[in-house]
Amino acid sequence: MTPTRLEQLLEFYKEDPSDAFTIYALATEYLKIDTQKSKEYYELLLAEHPNYVGTYYHAAKLYDELGQKDEAEKVYKKGMQISRQEGNMHAFSELQQAYNKFMGLDYEDD
């Protein structure tokens, strides 16, 4: 029997629970089936791997979807700060666009 993607990721996590990419992959995989579990993995990344820039967009979006607007705003802002510090302007731009939309500041040309 072939293990599922989730089973494989959990095995990788068991082998190395400090690997940021594996934690991120678990958070993303759980997003499809268990938002609370996904949130736990995103929060683990935010706490233990704050420079893992990819986390911020998805974590903030999840907080927003869960109705945790204040937390979403904090995560967007922290993500923009970290991505700038890391020199990752692509991530910064994506976070800024998402943040602006979240705040209702995305202006459409008519």
pLDDT digits 0-9 by tens, 83-100: 999 999 999 999 999 999
pLDDT, residue 6, reads 95
pLDDT, residue 38, reads 97
Per the confidence metrics, is the pTM higher than 0.85? yes
pLDDT digits 0-9 by tens, 15-48: 999 999 999 999 999 999 999 999 999 999 999 9
User: By CB neighbour count within 10 A (0-12 exposed, 13-18 middle, 19+ buried), where does 61 fall?
Assistant: middle
**First-to-last C-alpha distance (Å) of the chain:** 55
Residue 110 belongs to a domain: no
Residue 108 belongs to a domain: no
The token duo for 100 is 């602006």
**Structural domain range at position 12:** 5-102
CB 13 within 8 A of CB 24: no
Structural domain total, the chain: 1
State the CATH number of the domain containing residue 12: 1.25.40.10
Residue 17 belongs to a domain: yes
* pLDDT tops 70 at residue 53: yes
CB 56 within 8 A of CB 95: yes
Residue 53 belongs to a domain: yes
Residue 109 belongs to a domain: no
pLDDT, residue 1, reads 66
* pLDDT tops 70 at residue 107: no
Residue 32 belongs to a domain: yes
pLDDT, residue 66, reads 97
pLDDT top residue among 106 and 18: 18
pLDDT, residue 105, reads 87
Residue 91 belongs to a domain: yes
Residue 22 belongs to a domain: yes
